[in-house]
Structure 1
């Protein structure tokens, strides 16, 4: 029986939600902020479907650190982006990812949530390293990079 998990992190970005969202609903922009994009400089990337927003699809195939999998944007609203994440390697897993953007005066509160179920293999592995410890630090790194990219774009007038 699978065991559910949820890992979430949050940050404040000194830019409006539409600037942050532009980095989330376009997989071509993920290389600027995703904590996993630099795990394999030779990683193969494939973009298909919609250019951005619902229906945008991204697949990667990399070394054993990067693994192999796909992502698809399944929901995109002004203050929310939802992504279906499927890993094939290093082990099969499926997760739902959600970015919630809440305007706060001249800033945006960003919450990154990942939900899924631990498979039998993942449950054994999670005894040594729980999902919170496995994914949480990467999410923190990604949010810091997302914040920097959004603030840089906003300061440069790219909204």
Structure 2
């Protein structure tokens, strides 16, 4: 009887491992919001990492997190390094492409809690007196990350943070656009 239970456990674990291995390694999470401000005003809030503390959802998770800045004040080459509690971890973001009022592309390198990299984009599209902002993140997931996302929905977790961040960005930008 004990042998059958052990074989069943091994079979279930093996089946789970096969299922995880067959999951796609590439991922993409995307959310959009409408901001009642010009693309120039909205772009300015994202293009300068010094502004992120006012709207980033992760800044609210650890107000004591340490942030340092390198390179230019904004735009291509600007770097933000952070270190915080277990909820925000440690890593860096680098603006790799910046097209005024159109696009900010960022490479994020995570150190803690898991090492890895991701690419994020903010796309700004004018719509009369409004701007449609789309925030996306894409990258590759290793076996462990795929296993975690099998149990917990990664799109909902990251997407939920994006939704909070976009709502904060909307509030900050519209407040300044007044």
Q: What TM bracket, shorter-length normalisation?
A: over 0.9
Aligned partner (choices 27, 49, 68) of residue 49 of structure 2 = 27
Structure 1: distance between partners of 2:166 and 2:134: 9
Structure 2: distance between partners of 1:86 and 1:65: 16
Q: Which residues of 2 match residues 1-159 of structure 1 at below 5 A?
A: 3-78=25-100, 79-155=102-178
* Residues 40 and 63 in structure 1, CA contact (< 8 A), matched pair in contact too: yes
TM-score (norm 2): 0.84
Q: Which runs of 4+ in 1 moved over 2 A?
A: none
Higher RCO (C-alpha 8 Å, min separation 6): 1
Distance 2:64 2:35 in 1: 31
SS in 1 for 2:26: strand
Q: 1 CA distance for matches of 2:33 and 2:64?
A: 30
Extract unaligned runs of 5+ from structure 1. none
Instruction: From the two aligned structures, give the one with the greater helix fraction.
Output: 2
Whose Rg is larger? 2
Report which of the two has the higher share of strand. Answer: 1
Q: Which runs of 5+ in 2 are unaligned?
A: 1-20
Taking only aligned residues, the RMSD between alpha carbons, in angstroms, comes to 1.1
